[in-house]
């Protein structure tokens, strides 16, 4: 998969591919992340990407031409991408959308700035995504969040078992984790985790997962499809 991010601040965004599992996946060739500078798609000597809003009002608006030129460049180089516009007005980004986007061959994420982007850019956009009900000063952080979460679902980036255990998979939160030492400041690691009994450990973890989902995220708990194993774990 290839994720392309269009921004006027490429140096800000590039850290998304420089750390942890994502950087490893990029090095291993499992994932490509390309960052394009919108200013490279302007045609005037000042590389202008914004202008005053028609109708007046505060701030500036991002011009449509650089977005269209960048889009045409991507289409010509890789074929038609799936285009996401970052926006506080978009659909709320979540794990299901991340999974859906991870199946695209080419994903282009557009970052707005200033008061936003000229509405005519929406014609090339497939999905408008928000990362939450607050206003950021630019789409870069949102694009990085989307890029990171989507990358985790690209085959081989994160271990399959780890993904299945992570929060939100099957509408459950992850179970608690412990590492050495077994006793830290009089706090003990649950006995079952030291038992070596894999069946009991699995049931304990499932039970903790179900309990914390019910307490912390009752909305998710109600959506979860219960199995026989879940019922067994709930009795613990």
**Known binding site for S-adenosyl-L-methionine: residues?**
112, 131-136
Paired tokens of 180: 């050495």
**Placement of tokens 């928000």 in the chain:** 130
Give the residue with the Cβ less far from ligand SAM, 81 or 139.
139
Of all residues in the shown chain, the one whose CB is closest to ligand SAM is 112
Residue 145 phi/psi, 5-degree rounding, is -60, -45
CB of 191 to ligand SAM, least distance (A): 44
Residue 42 burial (CB count, 10 A): 18
Helix (H) or strand (E) holding 116: none
Q: Which residues are annotated as a binding site?
A: 112, 131-136
CB of 67 to ligand SAM, least distance (A): 11
Burial category of 108 from C-beta neighbours within 10 Å (exposed 0-12, middle 13-18, buried 19 and up): buried
CB of 192 to ligand SAM, least distance (A): 41
Give the residue with the Cβ less far from ligand SAM, 31 or 62.
62
The binding site for ligand SAM (CB under 6 A) comprises: 86-89, 111-113, 115-117, 130-132, 134-139, 142
**Placement of tokens 């608006």 in the chain:** 61
Paired tokens of 226: 């219960």
CB of 130 to ligand SAM, least distance (A): 4
Taking Cα atoms as reference points, which of 177, 202, 182 lies closest to residue 194? 182
For the annotated catalytic residues, the residue numbers are 88, 115, 152, 166
Taking Cα atoms as reference points, which of 81, 137, 132 lies closest to residue 109? 81
């Amino acid at each position: 998969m290839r994720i392309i991010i269009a921004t006027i601040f490429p140096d800000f965004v590039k850290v998304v591919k420089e750390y942890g599992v994502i950087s490893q996946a990029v090095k291993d060739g499992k994932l490509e992340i390309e960052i394009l500078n919108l200013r490279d798609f302007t045609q005037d000597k000042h590389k202008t990407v914004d202008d005053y809003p028609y109708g007046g009002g505060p701030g500036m608006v991002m011009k449509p031409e650089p977005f269209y030129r960048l889009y045409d460049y991507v289409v010509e180089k890789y074929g038609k991408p799936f285009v996401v516009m970052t926006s506080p007005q978009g659909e709320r980004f979540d794990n299901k959308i991340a999974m859906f986007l991870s199946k695209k061959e080419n994903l282009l994420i557009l970052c707005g700035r200033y008061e936003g982007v000229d509405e005519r850019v929406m014609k090339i956009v497939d999905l408008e995504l928000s990362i939450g009900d607050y206003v950021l000063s630019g789409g870069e952080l949102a694009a990085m969040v989307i890029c990171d979460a989507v990358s985790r679902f690209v085959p081989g980036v994160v271990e399959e078992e780890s993904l299945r255990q992570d929060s939100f998979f099957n509408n459950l939160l992850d179970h608690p984790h412990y590492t050495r030492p077994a006793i830290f400041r009089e706090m003990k690691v649950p006995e079952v985790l030291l038992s070596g009994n894999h069946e009991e450990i699995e049931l304990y973890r499932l039970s903790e997962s179900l309990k914390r989902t019910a307490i912390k995220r009752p909305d998710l708990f109600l959506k979860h499809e219960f199995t026989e194993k879940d019922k067994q774990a709930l009795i613990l």
